[in-house]
Structure 1
């Protein structure tokens, strides 16, 4: 449920992930020291120059710091669309946080408007 008071604004991680699934943008990218891999097989490895960040969402847990995370909606140059999620700071889910941060910083950021990103 959207409690932001704005009907066009999603405010939970689950809401955004469900919207991504509805729009076939639900492939989970995973960070490795070699690059981002896409999907369960992880055979294709993408470099920052292969990717664009379409939208960034930040979620802050009201009572639990473990709920604080960043969701990047990503599109690869081959048309693959999906997301990568990271928890904030000490709660990061990456073994090589510095490498992950550096990798993400190198990706071009488009930051599309939500209405454009999720429009038909």
Structure 2
């Protein structure tokens, strides 16, 4: 797994590895708006995790996940703030994402 200095660097590096879709967390699933892909926690795996902590600005704290469907056909990224900026998500999604911290 590569190490990246910035969120942008991680996104560019993962895109070069084929993680081209942008997913968003929607409470109990991840969704790609571009093509309406929707994956529940049991339908995808987290392949890489890159955590970034801002030196002085809490809004710079972010996590980048490289995810793919269980069959390997759908690959993309999730960017998610953590701490007080984190979105509301289901317990199942929290468990899925927490395994990789």
**Superposition TM-score tier, normalisation by shorter sequence:** 0.7 to 0.9
The unaligned stretches of length 5 or more in structure 2 are none
CA RMSD of aligned residues (A): 2.4
The unaligned stretches of length 5 or more in structure 1 are 1-7, 111-120
Per-residue Cα deviation, 1:49-103 (whole angstroms, up to 9, x for no partner): 11100011110011210000111110112421111111111112x2xx242x631
Indicate the residue corresponding to 2:15 in structure 1.
21
**Matched pairs, number:** 98
Question: With CA pairs under 8 Å and 6+ residues apart, which has the higher RCO, 1 or 2?
Answer: 2
Match of 1:59 among 45, 52, 57: 52
Question: In 1, distance between residues paired with 2:30 and 2:40?
Answer: 7
Judged with a 3 Å threshold, the aligned counterparts in structure 2 of structure 1 residues 21 and 98 are, in CA distance, closer, same or farther, namely closer
TM-score normalised to structure 1 length: 0.69
TM-score normalised to structure 2 length: 0.80
